[in-house]
A and B are shown apart, each in its own frame.
Chain A
């Protein structure tokens, strides 16, 4: 199976994509991808290792710097991969606070999540796991210490090999899967309080948990009859999903992401119009009272109409601008990922 995949040209068949989707990328597929992207790296095979210490025995003296990789979970079932130099001190309590999760918000993720979400074996947490569709909502925190190292060591999706590359190579890979690499000082311990917001709050995934997506994956694997039409559509969908940007990836129909659900509709024309009508009628009702009827009599209509225009004009223009910007963004997103017709 691995040998066959190694012989694949850079275009991966639709059937394989479906299998990858359910089984996760293999080490060889990852290595092939790195070569495709012309990322400089070297590799070294060794017996399976489950800890950094064990890994050090085989590759510790080869000039690179070992990494330690943690797969973490918070109380709201959001997942994080923390990838650091082996010597960097990582205090989960501090990290939890810096993320805005409170003091005890971060735990090691359970073993099952490793297989389901990162799709790597035990002892094999690695930033490269984000190549998997299932890991698209996992937040990646990278030690800024990597940037100054000539050579960093990671597992390439399996623990019987280590790969050596520098931070630029890692960045190139991450960008190729739609992630924006961001390095932080993992040892920093800035105060977090009422007036000092958690400095890593941006790293908290704002999407719905991945677990709810997993059951959907089962059906496609059942119809792997290889019908070319069905497979083609599926692969297009999978390819499209795989390049979504990290963190705030969102379904076009959903409301824009943020922990605060906005009261302003996204590019949903129906909701937009309802919001406008609600505001107008609220204002209308407030303008019509016994007093105002007495005051204006027959002219009340004109008076109210003018007031509504005056009060709502700017407000509604702002709503309309947000609607326009959202619709434009959806179009722009689609446009930058559109596949030209094949001739």
Chain B
């Protein structure tokens, strides 16, 4: 049985996690075990990682190996069906609130690209320009423009155009998509949506009626040009765990309107440079590494702003070693350093005090620079025509090949 989220419960709990706010108890760390418990999703354990490796005949993605994607709902059903020969499709998205993307934004897309390649399945990507227009009070044109700009960075993550459909809500809502929105909306009372998302009497009706927009891409009939006749197709949604409320609502509604519940695979939050307690915010460019940062910027940010677990002095460091629990460079390397052996070595040496903070930071700067460089080169190859093609309502005949 799925636990439902109640506003009162939220107020009593110490940490707050929902699509618009993420904060830990007393400025501490997010307690993910508590979160899984409260939300009612499942831990993604090693057996899943092994099974994915077996089914896809390739090494599992670094995010799986390191527990970055750590929770799920019904992922085992997806894998069972896959083993039987029943494919699925992927659904992920972005709220285009700003032009500059940082590494944290890229994480779900990097993982989704891996899933697309490994399982050879199609993908729909939703750009919720309407949501940002409403929540961030952007003009319609500005949110549409940001959606297109963000689409370019998303495309640069390496999605296969013959298996990927990108759409913006302002462009695509209507037709079969809208019909599903109404079906979903009819199944969710005002009180329920207030309970899940915390709306008040002062919130405008646009916000209140938005959740179905993010729910219906989970249903294949929302995309008749792609999945016509495939009403049985399952959906897997890679996302950060703060998006869970939307999909709890969706999973609640799905069986009532005759659809499969979408499956979810959820990730940790990407920490700010200043530490887990720090907030990554668009107004503080030093809180994150942006895809437009130069090698110099990255080196500067890592050296000057990354919160470390190293000791105050070299002598103390050699004696006590580093506190890996709070060390940001180690956490970032956990996300982005591919080589398991090298990461283990660094953790061991740094934790024992034999390796200094400066060295760890240097390695991190190298890894991040390589990542950002590769992204920038790919981004440079994305043209307006390519965005148009990705976003065109067109059939994808080879989407399962």
Binding site for B on A (CB under 8 A): 144, 182-184, 195, 197, 202, 245, 247-248, 250, 256-258, 260-264, 266, 315, 317-318, 321-322, 324-326, 328-330, 332-333, 336
CA of A247 to CA of B145, assembled, Å: 14
Residues of A within 8 A of B117 (CB): 317
- Chain A positions within 8 Å of B160 at CB level: 321, 324-325
On chain B, the residues within 8 Å of A183 by CB distance are 139, 141
With the chains together, A250 CA to B377 CA distance in Å? 19
Q: A245-B384, A326-B381 are in contact. List 11 more A-B contacts (CB 8 A).
A: A182-B141, A197-B292, A245-B385, A256-B386, A318-B374, A322-B158, A322-B378, A322-B381, A325-B155, A325-B381, A328-B389
Which residue of the partner chain B has the closest CB to A261?
B380
Closest chain B residue, CB of each to CB of A263:
B377
Please name the residue on chain A nearest to B152 by beta carbon: A258
**Are B389's CB and A144's CB within 8 A?**
no
Q: How distant is the Cα of A306 from the Cα of B139 in the complex, in angstroms?
A: 53
Interface residue count for B (Cβ, 8 Å)? 30
When chains A and B are docked, how far (Å) is the Cα of A189 from the Cα of B217? Answer: 38
- In the complex, which of the residues A184, A202, A260, A317 contacts B149, with contact meaning CB atoms closer than 8 Å? A202
- Chain A's nearest CB lies how many Å from the CB of B191? 37
Take A202-B145, A321-B158, A329-B161 as given contacts and tell me if A250 and B378 are in contact as well, using a CB distance cutoff of 8 Å.
Answer: no
When the two chains form their complex, are residues B384 and A325 in contact, meaning their CB atoms are under 8 A apart? Answer: no
CA distance A245 to B148 in the complex (A): 14
What is the chain A residue whose CB lies nearest that of B292?
A197
B185: interface (CB < 8 Å) = no
List the 8 shortest-distance A-B pairs measured between CB atoms, nearest first: A262-B380, A195-B285, A332-B389, A248-B384, A329-B386, A325-B161, A329-B389, A256-B383
> How far, in whole Å, are A245 and B161 apart by their CA atoms in the complex?
20
State A328–B381 Cα separation when bound (angstroms). Answer: 13
Rounded to whole Å, the gap between the CB of A194 and the closest CB of chain B is: 8
| Contact A144/B139 with A318-B158, A325-B160 known, Cβ cut-off 8 Å | yes
Most buried by A among B117, B382, B389: B389
Which residues on B sit within 8 Å (CB–CB) of A256? Answer: 380-383, 386
Chain B residues with Cβ below 8 Å from A264 are: 377-378, 380-381
Q: B residues within 8 A CB of A321? A: 158-160
A245 to B384, CA, bound (A): 8
CB-based nearest A residue for B58: A313
Complex interface bits, B266-298 against A, C-beta within 8 A gives 1, otherwise 0: 000000000000000000010000001000000
Query: What CA separation (Å) do A317 and B392 show in the bound complex?
Result: 24
B282 to chain A, nearest CB (A): 10
Pair A197/B388 contact, Cβ less than 8 Å:
no
Q: Is B100 an interface residue (CB 8 A)?
A: yes
Contact between A332 and B392 (Cβ–Cβ < 8 Å)?
Answer: yes
CB of B284 to closest CB in A, whole Å: 9
On chain A, the residues within 8 Å of B377 by CB distance are 262-264
Report whether B145 and A325 are in contact in the complex, using a CB–CB cutoff of 8 Å.
Answer: no
- Residues in chain A near residue B139, CB distance under 8 A: 144, 183
List chain B residues, Cβ under 8 A from A326.
381, 383, 386
Bound complex: CA A19 to CA B392 (Å): 35
> B residues within 8 A CB of A258?
380
Which of B149, B377, B378, B380 has its CB near the most chain A CB atoms (within 10 A)?
B380
The answer to the question of B376 belonging to the interface, with a C-beta cut-off of 8 Å to chain A, is yes
Q: Are A250 and B141 in contact (CB under 8 A)?
A: no
B137 to chain A, nearest CB (A): 13
Nearest opposing residue in chain B for A255, CB measure: B381
Q: Do the beta carbons of B292 and A250 come within 8 Å of each other?
A: no
Q: Is B99 among interface residues, defined by CB-CB distance under 8 A?
A: yes
User: Roughly how many angstroms separate A13 CA and B386 CA in the complex, as a whole number?
Assistant: 33
Residue of B nearest to A201 (CB): B99
Contacts of A182 on B, CB cut-off 8 Å?
A: 141, 145
- A182 CB, nearest partner CB in chain B, Å: 6
Contact (A328, B385) CB under 8 Å given A144-B141, A262-B380, A318-B378: no
- Per the 8 Å Cβ criterion, residues 37-53 of B in contact with A are none
| B162 at interface, CB cutoff 8 A | yes
In the assembled complex, how far is the CB of residue B350 from the closest CB belonging to chain A, in whole angstroms?
Answer: 25
A333 close to B389 (CB less than 8 A): yes
A-B contact pairs, 13 of them (CB 8 A): A182-B141, A195-B285, A202-B145, A248-B385, A263-B377, A317-B117, A318-B158, A324-B160, A325-B155, A325-B386, A329-B385, A329-B389, A336-B392
A262: chain B residues at CB < 8 Å are 377, 380-381
A83 to B197, CA, bound (A): 42
Q: Nearest chain B CB to A135's CB is how many angstroms away?
A: 18
Chain B positions 289-344 with a Cβ under 8 Å from a chain A Cβ:
292
Question: How many angstroms between the C-alpha atoms of A140 and B141 in the bound complex?
Answer: 15
Does A247 contact B384, Cβ atoms closer than 8 Å?
yes
Closest to A336 in B: B392
Chain A, residue nearest B394 (CB): A332
- In the assembled complex, which residues on chain A have CB atoms less than 8 Å from the CB atom of B159? 321
**Would A266 and B162 count as touching, CB distance under 8 A?**
no
Chain A residue nearest to B114 in the complex (CB) = A314
Give min CB distance, A306 to chain B, whole Å: 14
Contact between A328 and B162, CB atoms less than 8 A apart: yes
Query: How close is A329's CB to chain B, nearest CB, in angstroms?
Result: 4
Q: Is the CB of B155 within 8 A of A260?
A: no
Residues of B within 8 A of A318 (CB): 158, 374, 378
In chain A, what residue has the closest Cβ to B145? A182
Residue contact B162 to A324, C-beta cutoff 8 Å: yes
Residue of A nearest to B383 (CB): A256
A324 vs B390: C-alpha distance when bound (angstroms)? 12
B292 touches A329 (CB 8 A): no
CB closest residue in chain A, given B284: A195
A199: nearest chain-B partner, CB-CB: B99
B328-366 residues with Cβ-Cβ distance < 8 A to A are none
Among the interface residues A245, A263, A266, A321, which one has the most CB atoms of the partner chain B within 10 A? A321
